[in-house]
Structure 1
Amino acid sequence: MTSSTAALTRWIPSHRGLIAIGAAFLAGLLLFLIVWSGQRGASPAPVRATADAPGFTPLPAPMPRDADGASGMEEPDEQALADQPRLEEAPRPAAAPAAPTAPTPSRAPNAIAEASSPTPISSPAPRYPQRALRRRETGTVRVQVEVGADGVPTDVSVAASSNSRDLDRAALDAVRKWRFAPAIRDGQAVAGTVVVPIEFRL
């Protein structure tokens, strides 16, 4: 006999064990039948009907709005309330009207303060050109002068010619040596422009 067959033989119950197992099965089946038959014969428990009327006391009907003691509380005694001390606030003093302030002069955003024009303070006379003398040329030259803040001319040009090239050149040479009181704006010396006439006559 092999080892596997021997192990299987050990697990097979004996004749007495089989009888015990069968008796236990029959006893359990008999107990189940007894319980089941007892439940079938029993009548269901009666259901108790609820009462038709509610089991609570209804609330009282509301009282009219203008009736005394509608809230169920005693009305306060107006005379007693009048006798009680009360805190009254003193009236606040009226604020004094603000004193009118004088309007401050304001400049328009695009307004530019006017500046005085430069003024000659040293103006040596020009030399009469020899060729213009020989030709008997005369006339007036209008010279435009750009004057710096220090009063020294920075640029000179002919604004209106005398129709003589020699006279125009002599006028420019002379004005370059002039000195000016500079233009003034807001109390400060600034650069400015002025046109001065130079007259040549015989």
Structure 2
Amino acid sequence: MSRTDEQPDGALRYLPQGRWAVVAGAFVLGWVLFLLVVTRQSTDPVPGEAAPAAALAALPNDPLPAPVPAGASAPLPQAADGEGARLVEEPSPPPPVQPEPQPATPSPVEVAPVQQVAAQPPALLAGQEPPRYPVSALRSGESGTVVLRVQVDAEGRAGDVEIIERSGSRDLDRAAADAALRWRFQPARDAEGRPMPGEAIVPVEFQTQ
């Protein structure tokens, strides 16, 4: 009888033979490991969680603040170093910079033209026709002297005639002014002898005799 035909002795004879023995052994080993893991997780505390009694003991025993009455402001919290809290005011913005006033530009001054003064006033030329004596004034015996201001141009012609003294007779005054418009004058002259406009004062006398 050979050695292979002999039956195993002791505990070896109870083990199943072949591949089924390997499968069964692995299954049993897996269950054992699963039970060990589950048992360990149920007994170990969860990380980060503390016992309720220890957590309550760690809380401070300070009393809660009293409720604030309606309309009152809550007190400011105290700083950690014992100093009262302070309100920090923001600095006010700097005032706007006012632009410097610009000097006023002087307005141009209108310069009046310099009136040229005649060195020699105009004069009535000789031989001018005297004014006619009004018939109505002659019949009533009116007489008097009329003083005229005559504007004379550079050519010696009479322009505007103004009565500056009246004779007392309207007919005599009108006759003198009408005659002066027909008169010719020697024009006024400046310092260099050049003719220029001017005015002449001419008295006209009316006498009945």
Q: Please give the range of the TM-score, normalised by the shorter of the 2 chains.
A: 0.3 to 0.5
Structure 2-normalised TM-score? 0.42
The structure that has the greater radius of gyration is 2
Structure 1-normalised TM-score? 0.44
